[in-house]
Amino acid sequence: MEKQKKSVLLLIALVLGVAYVIYSLWYWYGGGALGQVGTDSASQAGAGFAAMLVMPHLTLTLLAVVFNALGLLMGKRGFALTAGILYAVATALFPAYFFFVIVQMILCFVAFARMRDQQGTR
User: How much is the pTM?
Assistant: 0.82
The mean pLDDT of the chain is 85
DSSP classification of residue 33: T
What is the average pLDDT across 37-56?
76
Task: List the Cα angle 49/21/5 in 5-degree steps.
Answer: 150
Helix or strand run (H / E) with residue 101: helix 98-114
Least confident of 21-30, 69-78, 81-90, 100-109: 21-30
Residues in the chain: 122
Report whether pLDDT(118) > 70.
no
H or E segment to which residue 9 belongs: helix 8-29
For 24-46, the pLDDT digits (tens) are 988 877 766 555 556 667 777 77
